[in-house]
A and B are shown apart, each in its own frame.
Chain A
Amino acid sequence: MTLPFAPWADPASEPLIELRNVTKRFGVFEAVKDLSLKIYEREFFAILGPSGCGKTTLMRMLAGFETPNAGEILLGGTDLTPIPPAKRPVNMMFQSYALFPHLTVEKNIAFGLKREGTPSDEIADRVVDIMRLVQLTDFAHRKPDQLSGGQRQRVALARALVKRPKLLLLDEPLGALDKKLRQETQFELMGIQESLGTTFVIVTHDQEEAMTVSSRIAVMRDGELAQVSTPTDLYERPDTRFVADFIGEVTILEGRVTTASRGGVGLAVLEGAEDLRVVTDATPPSGTTAWLALRPEKVSISRAKPEADNAVSGKVLDIAYLGNISTYHVELANGSIIKAQESNRARSDRRDITWEDAVWVAWEEDAGVLLLA
């Protein structure tokens, strides 16, 4: 059995890229605040966060277009800060692609190799190989304005990849593509990354995309890292309400810790109702305010009170029908809303639940996550 790829869990492994307390200011505005991060070789690292949180700024510092005001950026242990973009073993695929409009696809791709002074027969070979990889061979002699959006994006990718950089930066590379093409390209990207073994850092707005492609995800907020974890951890074990809310659909219930026993706490959410049971490693003192984050697919809905660790009653406020699944928005007595998701297999007992119905929502004590911030 092979070990799963998880160099970040191994204290002995050396990071490829290390940011140490990096700060970037524009005037008085801090776009990146005292940020520290390690990215390992062969990772497919995603940076996710709301607009304006500093993702592009972080990438531009890695590529060398911005200089940090404080802190340092190390690549393989050496400080990158004094090295200009042209000399870094880092390539960036621009959000706007930034293809040279006066050059053909082939020449765009060969541009970087020519600058390095690679022998011309080697350039020709490498360009042909990479064009085959991204399926651009038929378009070699076209200019960028004679290509579709998806083809341009592949030229940009090929142009950055052909230099075989240690680190490839992708700033929202798939933003311009439609959903289907985007999904195809995501898989293409993963394939390429695996076959070349390059380290990828990808910025995206699209959390689904980040979950699909990456080995780890960093969630950024206001120039800081909110959490850095594997996609599964980020989804199942968010650290904060911000992260839980940012990744996927979630219900967040505010309550007060009543009892803290081994491995779990009781959380008073509703007046006069039983405390909710939550499994957690944390041992918050009773009386603390805490939040329960619940993924809708872990909550079931029924007319009769079910046998479950936690069950609360409410009224169906809204049903979002998504084809394969339906999401029920159930309003509790205190006005808060719990989302419950059911797949639409023909189960009449649930299918006939409709608006205004009195129902029970239920989940197990290990279904939710207790958040203290």
Chain B
Amino acid sequence: MNRTLGQRILVALPYLWLLVLFLAPFLIVLKISLSDLAVSRPPYTPQFDLSGGWAGVKDFFAKLDFENYTFLAEDSLYINAYLSSLKIAGISTIITLLIGYSIAYALARSPRRWRPTLVMLVILPFWTSFLIRVYAWIGILKTEGLLNQLLLNIGVIAEPLTILNTNTAVYIGIVYSYLPFMVLPIYATLEKMDESLLEAAADLGSSRLAAFFLVTLPLSMPGILAGCFLVFIPAIGEFVIPDLLGGSDTLMIGKTLWVEFFSNRDWPLASAVAILLLLLLIVPIVLFQRQQMKQEIGT
């Protein structure tokens, strides 16, 4: 197929975009992760310098090594941080799924004329900055915060609960923040489901509960998968929520990365953490894309 120059440029543009804005920074971070810590500006060595000629370039590559990665593998802190991130993201995803599915189900069963308004309400929080909303949770969850005052006043508890700066607060924060990403794809699949399928199931002898598990749930699976990936992937690398709501013992890789980068100013190690995080995320992302492909071929 012969393409005009204009068409070639059009096709090349997104690749160019990816090259400049994704691949180049990735290579820079990869390079830093292979460097050594140094008291300099920027704080690592070797620095890429063409003035040394071919010998300089060879020397530069000779100085790169996997020291940082070996260090990460040896220090259990990092492995624990990765595992703990997976665990927190996994549990949050399951909680978000349970709550999100109920909300999406209720939305899809609500009177048609109410639906646009209700969907608006689900996405309304996006109109406020994410950071501010997470801050607001501090006000709600702290010892003398709104939640404790409410519970004390109605007499459910005698002593204020310690929620802020625990993993519980992190779960609350993640579930709250990512809920819309779960609700919307599930709602989309439930909403387009033909209601006569449920009547057919009833007609063929299934109870409402059986019809839910045999018909509604399998048919909403694409939405469930999309929602889970949309929550799980960003939750693994989440930094703001564990930093603001979590405690000193809340271990998440995003937070570790931040500490290495800004507190310890160990850019090479921080870069190695980032590269490993990326590799960790690639697995679910590839799975997600394959699922999407399958769905497109299916329909």
Contact = CB atoms under 8 A, between A and B. Distances in A.
Interface of A: 63-65, 84-87, 90-92, 94, 96, 98-102, 111-112, 115-116, 145, 159-160, 163
A92 B218 CA distance: 23
Given A102-B218, A115-B210, A85 B202 contact: yes
A9 to B, nearest CB: 32
Contact of A163 (B204, B206, B207): B204
Interface of B: 194, 196-197, 199-207, 210, 214-215, 218-219, 299
A116 B196 contact: no
B219 A102 contact: yes
Contact of B204 (A101, A115, A145): A115
18 contacts: A64-B202, A64-B203, A84-B202, A85-B202, A86-B204, A86-B205, A86-B206, A92-B200, A98-B196, A98-B199, A100-B197, A100-B215, A102-B218, A102-B219, A111-B206, A111-B214, A112-B204, A115-B210
Contacts of A86: 202-207
Contacts of B196: 94, 96, 98
A11 to B, nearest CB: 33
Nearest to A96: B196
A335 to B, nearest CB: 49
Contacts of A163: 204-205
Given A100-B215, A101-B219, A94 B200 contact: yes
Contacts of B200: 92, 94, 98-100
A163 B200 CA distance: 13
B175 to A, nearest CB: 29
Interface of B (DSSP majority class): helix
Interface of A (DSSP majority class): mixed
Nearest to B217: A102
Contact of A96 (B194, B201, B204, B299): B194
Given A96-B194, A115-B210, A65 B199 contact: yes
Given A98-B194, A98-B200, A100-B200, A115 B206 contact: yes
A86 B214 CA distance: 14
Contacts of B299: 145
A96 to B, nearest CB: 6
Given A86-B204, A94-B199, A100-B197, 16 more contacts: A63-B199, A86-B202, A91-B203, A92-B199, A92-B200, A92-B203, A94-B200, A98-B197, A100-B200, A102-B218, A102-B219, A111-B206, A112-B204, A112-B205, A115-B205, A145-B299
B298 to A, nearest CB: 8
A144 B158 CA distance: 59
A306 B34 CA distance: 112
Contact of A85 (B197, B199, B218): B199
B210 to A, nearest CB: 7
B188 to A, nearest CB: 16
A159 B205 CA distance: 12
Residue from B201, B202, B206 with most neighbouring chain A CB atoms (10 Å): B202
Contacts of B199: 63, 65, 85, 92, 94, 98
A111 B219 CA distance: 15
B158 to A, nearest CB: 48
A116 B205 contact: yes
A163 B207 CA distance: 16
A356 B62 CA distance: 107
Contacts of A65: 199, 202
Contacts of B202: 64-65, 84-86
Nearest to A92: B203
A102 B194 CA distance: 13
Contacts of A99: 200
A157 B204 CA distance: 12
Contacts of B214: 111
Contacts of B205: 86-87, 112, 115-116, 163
A79 B201 CA distance: 23
A320 B75 CA distance: 94
Nearest to B200: A98
A372 B201 CA distance: 47
Nearest to A159: B204
Given A102-B219, A115-B210, A63 B204 contact: no
Q: Which 7 A-B pairs have the closest CB atoms?
A: A112-B204, A115-B205, A98-B200, A98-B196, A85-B202, A102-B218, A86-B205
B11 to A, nearest CB: 32
Nearest to B195: A98
Nearest to B207: A86
A101 B215 CA distance: 9
Contacts of B206: 86, 111, 115
A310 to B, nearest CB: 52
A181 B204 CA distance: 27
Contacts of B218: 102
A260 B202 CA distance: 58
A85 B205 CA distance: 7
Contacts of A94: 196, 199-200
Contacts of B207: 86
B192 to A, nearest CB: 11
A159 B214 CA distance: 16
Nearest to B206: A115
A91 B207 CA distance: 15
Residue from B201, B203, B207, B219 with most neighbouring chain A CB atoms (10 Å): B203
Contacts of B194: 96, 98
Nearest to B221: A102
Contacts of B197: 98, 100
B219 A91 contact: no
A112 B214 CA distance: 12
A85 B203 contact: yes
A34 B199 CA distance: 26
